[in-house]
Structure 1
Amino acid sequence: MLKKALLFILLFCLFFVSQGVEPTKAESNFIRIAVKEGFDGKVKSGRGFPVQVTVENSGADFNGDILFNFATNYNSSGAKLLSIDVPKGSKKTYSLSIPALSEDYSQNSQLKQSIFLYKGSWKDDHEQDFIGDKILKPKYIDLDKRTMGFFSEDSDRLKELKVMALTNQIEPIVLTSEMVPEDELGLDSLDYILIDEFAISKLKKPQQQAILNWIQNGGKLIAGAEPNAAGSYGSLYQVLPMKPDKEAAADTKFFQVTPALPAFQQIPVFIGQVEKGADIAVKSGDLPMVIHKGYGAGEIWQTAFSLGDEPLSSSKEYGQWFATSPMLSNTSKSQLQNGGQNPFDMLFNEFAEINEYFSSTQFSVGQISLFLFIYLLLLAPFLYFLLKRLDKREYAWWIIIGAAVLSSVGIFAIGAKDRIAKPQMNQTGIYKAENDQLTGLEAVTFLSNTGGDYEVGFSKGKFYGVPGSTAMAVSDGKRYAVLENGRKTSSVTFPNVEYWATRTYFGHASKQSAGQFDIKLTYENKKLTGTIINQFPYDFEEVFIWSGSNKFKLGALKRGESLTVNETFQQDYLAGPYSTGNSYQVPSSQQEVDKFKRERMEYGAIEYLYNNSQSENQPILYGYTKDSVIEADIKGKNESKKGLSLIYQTIALDTKFSGPFTIKDDMLRTHINTIHGGFFNDSSENRREMELDEGEYDYVMELPNQLPKMRHEFKDLEITWQGANITCSLLNHSNGTFLPLTNSHTTIKEHLDEFISKDGVITIKLIKTGQGDPHVRMPALSIKGEISQ
């Protein structure tokens, strides 16, 4: 009887305990989730994109979190958080932006689920089952293509521009109001936004602000004319470079791209006062037709004519003209693209990885030898004679052991004191200053002092990063980092961090109303004179001028202070910075860490920012500051911080020079445009060698921007190239034809102005043949001429 009673009590207890434990995953499927990724289902690998999420609840009231796993490459994984509150029997639509997605990751056949639903907070791990879409699986746009989003009241109005886009390596995307996200990260997959008589004012205020922020961070807006621009453009109207207030008729000769004149002689235009600082890029007589201005790191192009009205919209010449117009010269958006590669593939190794080295107490070989000397040669004989004299030699066994233990504990405490007391945080940033805004890259790394969850918050700017490390394997995103973006601040939570472990978060960052260098410099007869005023809220421990491959140190410059410059240089002119490569060495000391960090910051500033911008071939002023552009802190921790940021600004020099000049390769700014084919990372430290697929490429070189503005005469152009797998031809800018370079060393002495554009651009077409060897050496140039006053 007693045994039966005990068995009954045991079964009752087991039943009671089982009822008190909530299952890991709820059994009911009363939540349905549907997602729409990107723009009409299209995104670009490694670029941010919007996601529309529709949640339908057929059960009880529900509030909780949805995590969207993503991976930017094989070594970077995370999850984006969306909090939802869906009452019983209702359906709600939410939007969020994913920072990036790798094509290889999302098309992995082993990936069964990347969307996870949690009841309450995801931190409580009460996963809820649901029905509907359980994986993000967008279509991917070719990375070699640019992307253009079209806003129009009727997309058929832009049929010629769509044809133009498709034939010029541009992916046309028709945008609707529902596609526009409420933060600029979701627009990251777009290079251009074109607006044709579309009521931007009807978009939500956050959507309009997202477009403005997207431009400021490097996007390019093309705004067409319409009768009521002030009422239609909404928040964008205030930033347009021209405020139209009257209508006129303009001659259409400026559209002429063939010997035949356009079929129509005039078109209606809307014109007004062009604001100060804006440029008139195209005119018809005295009327401005295309106006341009910089806005933050991006650009705004405004036309005086409607982009989709007849008869212009059905003209074949219109699309041809648009393709060659300055609006599409190249994209200014700094997307870290390198030959069609995912922008995050190399970014960690070349920029963020050095941020994971933390300073610590280290013992030199001499110090360790001294410890051994004291322990073996002093302590043992001293104890022997002392204890023998006291007749206490039996104490030696515990004194020697105790001394060893105390020494070990002391060495450990000295070496680990920084890691035990508090977590440490490193911040590294590289930024371009333009139009009172900083745009660039930031990396934040912390070294934990205990295990557990670490939440890092960011403020004083926009920071759209991704978690990453070379040691990270892509699997469950929430294991590594969960991202949450608020209106004013953002945060990333790293769960279950181990003792003395590092976590890194890196990516695009920007800050508005950040200040600038007020630069007033003159360059005359190899002498640079003038003043520089620091209008940033940062103290610079060092500032430099970088021209070509040469860097010139000017000294420290605190906030609000000025620096007088009186330096003599060797060059007749100053050009844009030229990077000589990156160091992949492993530092062996703290001094080497500091040295390599600065080398990689300088390399990154040129390769990822300067070379991806619309800046002319101009020298730069840059400086190092220990002040942080993006403020970061660990919630609930009193971390030890160490920061270093590089901020640069281009220098528009007033140059006075006369006499002969010679321009070598390191004074040219270069980039390569893919007509068809593909290219990989440059394979040498001097950027004069590439690895190219079989195909066609335009190798573009720009002279220092001061030369085209001066009275000059080019006298000699030497071009040297080599390689059995390529053929080269030189563009004649006057007629658009290419001159074959039949000899590997060609010298041109006549009609050089036909081969060097009025803006100082030289273009060589490369035809790469043969799949066997991708290695190609770029053509080398030497230009001689004379400047007259």
Structure 2
Amino acid sequence: MKPSFLNKCTFRLTCLIGSILLVLWMQCCGLFLGTARADEAALIEIESQIGFGASNVKQGRWTPVTMTLRNQGADLSGDLVIQVANPNRNKDFNYVQHVELPKGSTKVVTMLIPGNGYTKSNNTIAFYEKSQKNGKKITLAGNTYLEAFSLPKETLQVGVLARDVDTLNFLTLLNQSGNKVNVLHLKQEDIPKESLGLDSLDVLAINDFAADTLTSEQVQAIGLWTQRGGTLLLAGGAGYPKSAAPFAKASPVTYEGTTELNELPTVEKIGEKELVFPQPFTLSQAKLTGGAESILSEGTLPVIARSVYGSGFVTYAAYDLSLNPLASWNGNPRLWEQILSGPIEAAHAFNLNQMKFGNDPMWEMERALEFFPSLQPPKLPMLALVLLLYAILVGPLLYMVLRKLDRREWAWLVIPIAAILTSIGVFQFGATNRGSMMAQSLSTVSLNGTGSGIKQSALSVFLPKGGDLELKFTGKPVVSPLLLSDVYPGLQLHDQSELVVSKEPEATLVRLQGIPYSSISKLALGEEQLVSIGKIDYTISELSAKGAKGQVTNNTTKDLTDAAVVINQSYVKIGDIPAGASANFDTTGGIGMTNGFDVPQLAFPYPTNNSLDTNLHQRSLLSSYLNRKGNYSGGITPMVIGWMKDQSSITLTSGGSIPIEQLTLVSQDMKFNYVTPEGKIVIPSTALIPALIDNHLRMSSIQFQNGPFMQMGSGDVTLDYQLPNLAGASYQTMEMTADPNPDVTTELWNSETKAWEAITLQSFQSWEGEKLQPFLIEGKSIRMKVTTVQNNTMFRMPAVSLEGAVKR
């Protein structure tokens, strides 16, 4: 019996449906199996640590993140990504490192990210197979976010490499005198391979530690970190050679064995506490190297010595910092407050209670980076003329033409067409100078006087059409968005990232993505290596309490424009100095620093009559730089500054380049010995801006206005006037000018009686000869205690000047 046509159709339909179901089942099985294989391949465990453990991330400093990846699955390669919320944008920024993970392997990856507070809400760690841009996100087993509580910028952070884990713990006692100190005990593996990995440290102490266990990369990183402005402390007594061996060329001393002493009277005097040795105490014997200075000596034996190394210092201590009785001596806080006065002062310059002068420096930079002189909008008169012509065209002229043609009904078509054509014309006219990509950088180079310096840059890129763009920077700089504020803990991640930073062996790639039409992207760049552009030499021909005269020589590789000297709290214009040329200066005609940092506004004034602000870049960059250079008490250390202008380009990974206009502020600190050729010492009052130590005020803020004013709450604070380190100095006269305030009592420290001596401030007073000597502490400082019981008391810090002679 033949099957019917209906049965044949039913059979065929059943087979078709079955085949479809079979295919779908196989695909689903394949998908599930594939997922299982993917899961099997994605068995990656992760452990992460930010900084050096504990809560030691310092605001505004580059901080290392160490991530350990263990691949328990199949071979895998891809991008490890840290995504961070941007407090100033509605998109995040990413740091990316490509990682190869063979099966069963363990890889340690280190990245540098901005130092801020990190929580689960404002960052995440992810891994993408093959690449972040095109790969699949792989599940990580472990903590996939960073967590850290940031330290205030004014905290002095001390890293310690030592045999004894309690070494230098006494430094935390400085917190009782108004300082903020955090001590970190490090291990050899904690030391990074890049100098910027140590950026969050202010001091690195190596005491009785086998420094030869450090790798050559770690030694190089420590050396470069010191040259960038860090303080390297080498100590250990009998163990000094093993602590200092890799750093012998930078050390301030040459080791010559050991000695034993039963007393250290100079150390005891500075610490202002009794120091008893039950048995002889071992110290290393050493000879000062060229250029080094002894900070503290017992007879001819240097106990503490220091030498300049680039923009930083290498300090030597002749004893093991972990040995008693010195390690537990209660005079240590006073002693080490003096030894570390430089780093403490530098940290205090960031005090958040200090009154900042002028606008916030990052807001100044933000505004300057948005200003491209060639991207100015059309002039208002021109736009007004266009609108007037349009009004005439679509008004009486068009009406008359259509009336004459007797086609007034065409107005419904002609008027919209005229409006569209006019709009297109106005748009094209306004966009004639905005059709190509361009970039500009505003940089500072702080020279150290030996031919090199530290470079920091802010960069803005104009993308007329928006979209994506990848830049390539050689030299491996560190890059971040231009952050106007800190990444605060409560900030939330966004769905998209606008900036992606990844490292290659010899370059840093920066991808800008999803940029809106006709937008400007702003970046901050820090160079790992020092830049070598030469130095600025100077001589002082005349020095008095009222000012100075001298000469500046430009020994850099570029011409300097708008050169100036900042000295005695005055800004002295010099003018243009070609490379190799010299120019004279005289502080008599300088711009005094009054009522805040008004120097940038006076040196590069605002425009008049609404004209183009051609001084914006220089004014903003100088304002930002002086804000960073201002010390805790509001003063500015003497320096020479000048400007370099150049043109270059940024390489694109897709090929080609973007032209870039470069403006660089070059500065170099000036070091004075205040000794005339005849051997006379003259230290003007503007050179002695006191440091605030033993601060027990409820509130203190500083304003520099014809001398530093301090707004005080109830309590007391010690003003420490540090004198220049002049060999053989003998001071005969000290003059003090002040604004007496009945709500404030003042005392001077008498180093002979070891007690505070009350004084009544007057508008002018002086001490001479033998009456002066008790108030000179080791000939190196003068201390005044200021006390009030009132709140919101305005007190002008007394201005102190000294005269004397050098003993021949």
Question: Shorter-chain TM-score: which interval?
Answer: 0.7 to 0.9
AA aligned opposite 2:535: Q
AA aligned opposite 2:530: K
Partner of 2:158: 148
Partner of 1:307: 321
Quick check: 1:166–1:172 contact (8 Å CA) kept in 2? no
Cα offset, 1:562, TM superposition = 0.7
Aligned partner (choices 502, 513, 516) of residue 498 of structure 1: 516
Percent identity for Structure 1 against Structure 2: 19
Quick check: 1:547–1:574 contact (8 Å CA) kept in 2? no
- How big is each residue's C-alpha offset from its partner over 1:204-230, in whole Å with a ceiling of 9 and x where there is no partner? 222222211221222111101466766
1:651 equivalent in alignment to 2:670: yes
Cα offset, 1:667, TM superposition = 5.9
1:37 equivalent in alignment to 2:54: no
Partner of 2:303: 289
Q: Structure 2 matches for 1:632-711, cutoff 5 A? A: 633-636=651-654, 638-652=657-671, 656=676, 668-673=688-693, 675=695, 688=708, 697-700=717-720
Matches of 2:635 and 2:278, distance apart in 1: 36
Q: Structure 2 matches for 1:110-509, cutoff 5 A? A: 111=121, 114-124=124-134, 126-141=136-151, 145-156=155-166, 158=167, 161=170, 169-225=180-236, 233=244, 235-249=246-260, 252-257=264-269, 258=272, 260=274, 262-263=276-277, 267-309=281-323, 316=329, 319=332, 322-328=335-341, 330-331=343-344, 337-339=350-352, 347-359=361-373, 360-376=375-391, 405-422=420-437, 424-434=438-448, 435-439=450-454, 441-459=456-474, 462-463=477-478, 465-468=480-483, 475-476=493-494, 479-486=497-504, 488-506=506-524, 508-509=526-527
- How big is each residue's C-alpha offset from its partner over 1:678-725, in whole Å with a ceiling of 9 and x where there is no partner? 76875788895667777654445568x69999876546423326596x
- How big is each residue's C-alpha offset from its partner over 1:732-781, in whole Å with a ceiling of 9 and x where there is no partner? 566564455777x67544445555667775554455768xx7x5534243
Quick check: 2:737–2:764 contact (8 Å CA) kept in 1? yes
- How big is each residue's C-alpha offset from its partner over 1:144-166, in whole Å with a ceiling of 9 and x where there is no partner? 5422222112325x377467567
Question: What TM-score does the superposition give when structure 2 sets the normalisation length?
Answer: 0.79
Matches of 1:319 and 1:588, distance apart in 2: 58
- Residues 732, 119 of structure 1: CA spacing in aligned structure 2 closer, same or farther, 3 A cutoff? farther
Cα offset, 1:517, TM superposition = 0.7
AA aligned opposite 1:416: A
SS in 2 for 1:518: strand
- Residues 769, 592 of structure 1: CA spacing in aligned structure 2 closer, same or farther, 3 A cutoff? farther
Cα offset, 1:176, TM superposition = 0.5
Matches of 1:777 and 1:631, distance apart in 2: 52
Quick check: 2:479–2:523 contact (8 Å CA) kept in 1? no
Matches of 1:452 and 1:370, distance apart in 2: 34
Give the unaligned 5+ runs of structure 2: 1-8
Quick check: 1:26–1:129 contact (8 Å CA) kept in 2? no
- Residues 462, 259 of structure 1: CA spacing in aligned structure 2 closer, same or farther, 3 A cutoff? same
Matches of 1:256 and 1:700, distance apart in 2: 19
Cα offset, 1:172, TM superposition = 2.2
- How big is each residue's C-alpha offset from its partner over 1:522-569, in whole Å with a ceiling of 9 and x where there is no partner? 22578966543322233322211223453332221233x212326472
Matches of 1:488 and 1:734, distance apart in 2: 60
Cα offset, 1:32, TM superposition = 1.1
AA aligned opposite 2:665: L
Matches of 2:533 and 2:124, distance apart in 1: 38
Cα offset, 1:64, TM superposition = 1.7
Matches of 1:84 and 1:471, distance apart in 2: 29
Cα offset, 1:59, TM superposition = 1.3
Partner of 2:5: none
SS in 2 for 1:348: helix
AA aligned opposite 1:285: G
1:781 equivalent in alignment to 2:798: yes
SS in 1 for 2:294: strand
AA aligned opposite 2:559: D
Quick check: 1:144–1:340 contact (8 Å CA) kept in 2? no
Matches of 2:186 and 2:78, distance apart in 1: 31
Matches of 1:322 and 1:707, distance apart in 2: 20
SS in 1 for 2:461: strand
Partner of 1:603: 623
Partner of 1:541: 561
- Residues 346, 578 of structure 1: CA spacing in aligned structure 2 closer, same or farther, 3 A cutoff? closer
Partner of 1:63: 77
Quick check: 2:709–2:796 contact (8 Å CA) kept in 1? no
- How big is each residue's C-alpha offset from its partner over 1:643-671, in whole Å with a ceiling of 9 and x where there is no partner? 2221111234576499999967x665355
Partner of 2:4: none
**Once structures 1 and 2 are overlaid, which stretch shifts more, 593-602 or 441-450?**
593-602
Quick check: 2:273–2:331 contact (8 Å CA) kept in 1? no
Matches of 2:530 and 2:456, distance apart in 1: 11
AA aligned opposite 2:267: F
Quick check: 1:248–1:269 contact (8 Å CA) kept in 2? yes
AA aligned opposite 2:64: P
Matches of 1:120 and 1:284, distance apart in 2: 64
- Residues 727, 645 of structure 1: CA spacing in aligned structure 2 closer, same or farther, 3 A cutoff? farther
Matches of 2:547 and 2:175, distance apart in 1: 49
AA aligned opposite 2:268: Q
- Residues 379, 317 of structure 1: CA spacing in aligned structure 2 closer, same or farther, 3 A cutoff? closer
Cα offset, 1:138, TM superposition = 2.9
- Residues 443, 20 of structure 1: CA spacing in aligned structure 2 closer, same or farther, 3 A cutoff? farther
Quick check: 2:153–2:351 contact (8 Å CA) kept in 1? no
Matches of 2:515 and 2:279, distance apart in 1: 70
Quick check: 1:673–1:700 contact (8 Å CA) kept in 2? yes
- How big is each residue's C-alpha offset from its partner over 1:597-639, in whole Å with a ceiling of 9 and x where there is no partner? 32332222222135379x99753211111238x9855544632
Aligned partner (choices 556, 559, 565) of residue 576 of structure 2: 556
Matches of 1:85 and 1:369, distance apart in 2: 62
- Residues 578, 450 of structure 1: CA spacing in aligned structure 2 closer, same or farther, 3 A cutoff? same
Quick check: 2:749–2:757 contact (8 Å CA) kept in 1? yes
- How big is each residue's C-alpha offset from its partner over 1:354-383, in whole Å with a ceiling of 9 and x where there is no partner? 322233233333333433455556997788
Matches of 2:683 and 2:275, distance apart in 1: 42
Quick check: 2:124–2:146 contact (8 Å CA) kept in 1? yes
**Once structures 1 and 2 are overlaid, which stretch shifts more, 300-309 or 761-770?**
761-770
Matches of 2:700 and 2:547, distance apart in 1: 40
| Cα RMSD, aligned residues only | 5.0
Cα offset, 1:436, TM superposition = 3.0
AA aligned opposite 2:130: G
SS in 2 for 1:516: strand
SS in 2 for 1:420: coil
Q: Structure 2 matches for 1:91-110, cutoff 5 A? A: 91-102=106-117, 105-106=118-119
Matches of 1:361 and 1:6, distance apart in 2: 69
Cα offset, 1:516, TM superposition = 0.9
**Once structures 1 and 2 are overlaid, which stretch shifts more, 56-65 or 690-699?**
690-699
- Residues 493, 763 of structure 1: CA spacing in aligned structure 2 closer, same or farther, 3 A cutoff? farther
SS in 1 for 2:217: helix
Quick check: 1:449–1:500 contact (8 Å CA) kept in 2? yes
- Residues 516, 420 of structure 1: CA spacing in aligned structure 2 closer, same or farther, 3 A cutoff? same
Cα offset, 1:675, TM superposition = 3.3
Matches of 2:241 and 2:486, distance apart in 1: 53
Bigger Rg over Cα: 2
Quick check: 2:265–2:298 contact (8 Å CA) kept in 1? yes
**Once structures 1 and 2 are overlaid, which stretch shifts more, 74-83 or 92-101?**
74-83
- Residues 282, 477 of structure 1: CA spacing in aligned structure 2 closer, same or farther, 3 A cutoff? farther
Partner of 1:86: 101
